[in-house]
A and B are shown apart, each in its own frame.
Chain A
Amino acid sequence: MNALVPPLLNGTAQGALLLLAALGLSLTFGQMGVINMAHGEFLMIGAFTAYLVQQVIDSSDLSIPVALPVAFVVAGLLGLLLEVSIIRWMYRRPLDTLLVTIGVSLILQQAALQTFPAQGVPVKQPGWLDGQLTILGYSWPLRQSFTIVLAAACVAILSAWLKYTSFGRRIRATVQNRDLAETAGISTRTVDRLTFFVGSGLAGVAGVAASLIGGTNSQMGAQYIIPAFLVVAAGGIGQLKGTVIAAWAVGVALSCFAYWTTGSLAQVLALILVIVFLQVRPQGLFTVRTRSLA
């Protein structure tokens, strides 16, 4: 077996999960400039939604596909609630959004701890994900490919939506020049709300994927929020393709380092890699070209 095969495949899957967690952030953080520290908790809500759906639909073969849209809507609505109640008062004060959303994330964590069994809840994997694919002599867990397919689907749908729908065009216009977009008759308030809904909803979808890989408990959001921010920063703000490439690169780097050295050292090395990259290219991989004078 080639020593490159397991880390490359698993790194791609790890990158796909990072991408799912970062996609929503690249919308809310990248496009709107809101530092939402509660994004990880929206992911947690997605995972708990997967568990709750499994309590209603007994067959895990069916419950996970059903949980994906349900988690999107549940997390999205919660995000919308956060936007309408709190975030909208702070658009011009990014550091305040950071502090406020840290508070929100703590509230959501404790609420989950009080509501669900403290040890976490089990989310069962669909039967059709049991088993392995043999690739160049390596038995690759089928579940890993599911994460990749899910992430690819989310990216495809999101970019098509941004590119071809009128709402997508309005979001892009608002990002490029908010004032001009407003003069052109775009309701930037509505755009903000919708962007926040979709961004938070994507975190919910990521949560369903995460519930198949790790534990579903009140603390799970915390392990995704920092890598997700790093991915968005390294990818360059406001650009999906940057986020995609950065997520893949970080995932593969993490997995390769973990395979060749140790799991702990891998975290350090990957972080150093991102920091060095941001030193060389602080704007990230790609940036939005804008004619804005503001």
Chain B
Amino acid sequence: MSTFSRRLRTLVATGTIVTVALALAGCGARAGDGTPGAESAAPSCVDTSGDTIKLGFLNSLTGGMAISEKTVSNVLHMAADEINAGGGILGKKIKYIQEDGATDWPTFAEKAEKLLTQDCVAAIFGGWTSSSRKAVKPVVEKHNGLFFYPVQYEGLESSPNIYYTGATTNQQIIPAMDFLASKGVKRLFLAGSDYVFPRTANAIIKLYAAKLGIQIVGEEYVPLDKDDWTTQVAKIVAAKPDFIFNTINGSSNVGFIKAYYDAGLTAATTPIISVSIAEEEAPAMGHEITGQYASWNYFESLKTDTNPKFIKSWKAYPNSSGVTSDPMEAAYISLYLYKALVEAAGSFDVDAVNAAAKKNTITFAAPEGTVTLDGENHHISKPGHIGRINANNQFDIVWSSDKFIAPDPFLKGYDWFPANVRDQLVKAAG
């Protein structure tokens, strides 16, 4: 063989190895290791002497997750401006430091460390993926800091240093199942992206479905970064479900929706209920999805006393995306919840804040209604709503829970959820 083609061969080999290595680098990353518990925490370096208080915002502004997290960052800025206009927290204006998590979980850990130890912020707000939260968790636990996480997630977690303002499973997945049972659904298909949230959610769905008498006729996962769902949808068509439970996330949802309609499925025959398609995502599907369902705690169409003001402020905000949605509302709550906590504690000190939370009296008149903080598990009560997408990509609310659902991240109040499965899932989630 000539040296010319040998050179090309080396080239091919190098190219392939490097591309594969690059692809794997994203998956193999390990979160920063830190010892949990506050015993090693140095005395807090937070400066509360001036007339400002520093807070850290940690969102991915670059990389794959910027698609979702930019909005959270913008809404946090808006909330900070609002609070400052109203006099700040304990009379101190918020001075925020925005950091970019860059869709890289070790970066989230490093930036959290930097925000806590160098910038000396009083609390950090942000994160989206569970991986980013799990990267920040040991850092805030080590330095006895505070982290406010604004996205619905798979539950099975609590930390004295984290407050969760998105839904846990009993506030989103279980209401969705109750709704399906009320519709008389008998055959359910589970379609999800392949990572911790859909896997855990589906494990819970299967247990609850058995209790409700709903048959699971299939379960399919596609990696988060793959959009082509055509082959999997062929399996859905063959399984003939009466409803599809969709835990797909990100751009893969677009591929799923396109493959679904192209296979001849429609909302009239085989509707979809989603837990990740909100007002922002609906118009990007490239296909009308009128008639499909979504389970959230907040919709732009929600009629509460507080919602019109939130919508108006967001639409007028310079970096606005034009519509409001559940994750951004949860981010909005997180900053106001922190304000309420600090004002109840009368101090920015983490232990004082946690002690104030323990009284279970912290509330905030959120756009979704007045939410109450659970001082034990650091989650908030939320109403469960099912919306049906109309032609304007807004949701008509077709079902709501009787009352606000108290957060139960470990599903201890549900007899169909066995303790050994809980231990297994907690262990698997790391």
A contact residues vs B (CB 8 Å cutoff): 1, 6-7, 10-11, 13-14, 17, 29-30, 33, 35, 37, 94-95, 98, 102, 110, 113, 117-125, 129-132, 138-139, 141-144, 210-220, 222-223, 225-226, 229-230, 232-233, 237-238, 255, 258-259, 262-264, 267, 271, 278, 282-284, 287-288, 290, 292-294
- The number of residues on chain B lying at the interface, defined by a beta carbon within 8 Å of a beta carbon of chain A, is 62
Out of A123, A131, A271, A284, which one reaches B12, CB within 8 Å?
Answer: A284
Out of A129, A222, A258, A283, which one reaches B232, CB within 8 Å?
Answer: A258
**B318: Cβ under 8 A from any A Cβ:** no
**B119: Cβ under 8 A from any A Cβ:** no
Bound-state CA distance A10–B237 (Å) is 14
Interface locus among B65-73, B158-166, B294-302: B65-73
B321 adjacent to A95 (CB under 8 Å): no
18 extra interchain contacts, Cβ-Cβ under 8 A, other than A259-B235, A262-B221, A294-B2? A10-B234, A118-B321, A119-B284, A120-B254, A125-B262, A132-B264, A211-B286, A212-B258, A213-B228, A214-B251, A215-B286, A218-B66, A223-B226, A233-B13, A258-B232, A271-B20, A287-B5, A294-B3
4 closest residue pairs by CB, A with B: A214-B227, A215-B251, A215-B254, A141-B262
B15 adjacent to A288 (CB under 8 Å): no
Number of residue pairs spanning A and B whose beta carbons lie under 8 angstroms apart:
197
Query: 25 A-B Cβ contacts within 8 A?
Result: A14-B231, A35-B15, A37-B19, A118-B66, A118-B67, A120-B67, A120-B284, A123-B286, A132-B264, A141-B263, A143-B258, A214-B251, A215-B254, A215-B255, A215-B286, A217-B251, A223-B225, A229-B19, A258-B222, A258-B231, A259-B235, A264-B223, A282-B9, A283-B1, A292-B4
Nearest to B66 among chain A residues (CB) is A113
Bound-state CA distance A135–B283 (Å) is 33
Out of A13, A263, A271, which one reaches B220, CB within 8 Å?
Answer: A263
Contacts of B264 in A (CB 8 A): 131-132, 139, 141
**B81: Cβ under 8 A from any A Cβ:** no
On whether A263 and B19 interact (CB within 8 A), knowing A124-B287, A125-B258, the answer reads: no
A94 adjacent to B11 (CB under 8 Å): yes
Contacts of A124 in B (CB 8 A): 286-287
Nearest to A238 among chain B residues (CB) is B8
**B85: Cβ under 8 A from any A Cβ:** no
Contacts of A282 in B (CB 8 A): 9, 13
Bound-state CA distance A138–B235 (Å) is 11
